[in-house]
Amino acid sequence: MSVKASWDIFCVVVDNYGDIGVTWRLARQLVAEHGQRVRLWVDDLDTFARLCPGTSATASQQWHEGVDVRHWVPDWPGAEPADVVIEAFACQLPAPYIEAMARSERRILWLNLEYLSAEDWVVGCHALPSMQPDGLQKYFFFPGFEQGTGGLIREGDLLARRETFQRDPKLREAFLQGFGLSAQPGTRMLSLFAYENCAVAGWLDALAADSQPSLLLVPEGRVLGDVASWLGLDELSAGDRHARGALQIAVLPFMTQNQYDMLLWCCDFNAVRGEESFIRAQWAGRPLVWHIYPQEEEAHWDKLNAFLELYLRDLGPAPAAALKGFWHAWNAGEGSGAAWSAMLEYEAELRAHAERWTHKQVANGDLAGKLVFFYTDWL
């Protein structure tokens, strides 16, 4: 049985939506499914407001979905530390807060929630403590794709909601109609969320030249410039619709996380990026390509290949090579058209594989549940 505790989650928005995307989702789930009391400290409320419409960009405190959201300003206002303290992605906690943790007579669990990686060292490092000044201990909590890790964020009812949605074409129709869209039978549905990417043009060429029609849904974001250049336009914005050959393109507004899930569920193939959309696309049970966040000295290639090694383990050599070829072309920025056509040969196998992978990941447990268990066990 889990203990009801208070949690402080600290999030610095470095850039993009990944940091706040993960912490906001985790905070909501800890409240909704585990009955925990959660404060989410965010330094950038404008970015938070993109994910959580209705957010005030200036309020020092506000409640959303049962989460006590605090604006984390440089001038620390002082706060009694919670029972469990999570610094997300090695962000630096306020010094007075750490001092208050050290002084407290309660046992306080201090965790650093790490970035997601499929590399094999993760299992060995997950949940290891490290001694801090003042006698405090900090544990490193690693999300991951294997049993010995912290798992992935997944709401308890997510798969059931997704399956209901994917089984009922009316739900998909209604979702698309909300954006003024409809998908004709036989149209391949695709979504695109990526950083600036030179590989986009080759992919769009291949889709436009295909014998099967495609509808590409692109939420507003950094990749729009590449799509606009391919169309020969200066810019694109939400609501724009264009067609070239067999390809129709619809630019959608940036949506809530729940709507974005539905967009992924609608599609036969999803191009995603970062960390959070990458996980959500896996829960969609459909083939995907990951535009990994580029790191200095090309360190991201090790992460990408480590994931591919796990993901492709139970797939035949030919479809595995085809998928790997497309992922590499996508991240290298060239050769995506030919790699896409090669991958289409294995469309059915890759779809079945994506669904199997989802269920394999479910069996690993989920991040929020594992965090709550870790705390209960630590007590």
**Catalytic machinery residues:** 19, 275
Do 29 and 36 meet the contact criterion of CB atoms below 8 Å apart? no
Q: Which is nearer to ligand TRH, 51 or 101 (CB)?
A: 51
Residues 252-291 that bind ligand TRH (CB under 6 A): 254-257, 260, 273-278
Do 327 and 290 meet the contact criterion of CB atoms below 8 Å apart? yes
Residues 314-373 that bind ligand TRH (CB under 6 A): none
Decide: helix, strand or coil at residue 373: helix
DSSP class per residue in 102-154: HH-SS--EEEEEPPP---THHHHHTTEEEE-GGG-EEEEE---SSTTS--B--
Please report, for residues 1, 30, 105, 215, 372, the alpha-carbon distance to residue 377 in angstroms, rounded to integers and kept in the order given. Answer: 10, 17, 19, 49, 9
The reply to whether 15 sits near ligand TRH by the rule CB under 6 A is: yes
User: What is the x/- site pattern for ligand TRH, positions 185-204, by CB under 6 A?
Assistant: --------x-----------
Q: Which is nearer to ligand TRH, 53 or 96 (CB)?
A: 53
The site for ligand TRH, by CB under 6 A, has a size of: 23
Q: Please state, in angstroms and rounded to a whole number, the distance separating the CA atoms of residues 145 and 314.
A: 14
Q: Which of 7, 10, 17, 326 binds ligand TRH (CB under 6 A)?
A: 17
Q: Please state, in angstroms and rounded to a whole number, the distance separating the CA atoms of residues 144 and 7.
A: 22
The two structure tokens encoding residue 100: 């208050």
Do 298 and 332 meet the contact criterion of CB atoms below 8 Å apart? no
Q: Closest separation between CB of residue 377 and ligand TRH, Å?
A: 28
Q: Closest separation between CB of residue 348 and ligand TRH, Å?
A: 27
Do 101 and 110 meet the contact criterion of CB atoms below 8 Å apart? yes
The reply to whether 293 sits near ligand TRH by the rule CB under 6 A is: yes
Q: Closest separation between CB of residue 21 and ligand TRH, Å?
A: 3
Q: Please state, in angstroms and rounded to a whole number, the distance separating the CA atoms of residues 43 and 12.
A: 6
Q: Please state, in angstroms and rounded to a whole number, the distance separating the CA atoms of residues 84 and 27.
A: 12
Residues 114-133 that bind ligand TRH (CB under 6 A): 115
From the centroid of its chain, how far is CA 90? 18
Q: Which is nearer to ligand TRH, 86 or 101 (CB)?
A: 86
Q: Which is nearer to ligand TRH, 138 or 280 (CB)?
A: 280
Q: Closest separation between CB of residue 280 and ligand TRH, Å?
A: 6
The reply to whether 113 sits near ligand TRH by the rule CB under 6 A is: no
Greatest Cα pair distance in the chain: 69
> If you count them, how many residues does the chain have?
379
The reply to whether 14 sits near ligand TRH by the rule CB under 6 A is: yes
Stretch that binds ligand TRH, among 8-16, 138-146, 225-233, 351-359 (CB under 6 A): 8-16
Residues 21-50 that bind ligand TRH (CB under 6 A): 21
Q: Closest separation between CB of residue 149 and ligand TRH, Å?
A: 16
The reply to whether 175 sits near ligand TRH by the rule CB under 6 A is: no
Pairing type for strands 188-192 and 241-244 reads unpaired
Q: Please state, in angstroms and rounded to a whole number, the distance separating the CA atoms of residues 273 and 265.
A: 16
Residue nearest to ligand TRH (CB): 18
Q: Closest separation between CB of residue 292 and ligand TRH, Å?
A: 8
Do 86 and 111 meet the contact criterion of CB atoms below 8 Å apart? yes
The reply to whether 18 sits near ligand TRH by the rule CB under 6 A is: yes
The two structure tokens encoding residue 162: 């997704």
Q: Which of 202, 219, 319, 369 binds ligand TRH (CB under 6 A)?
A: 219
Q: Which is nearer to ligand TRH, 97 or 357 (CB)?
A: 357
- Give the binding site for ligand TRH (CB under 6 A): 14-18, 21, 51, 115, 193, 219, 221, 254-257, 260, 273-278, 293
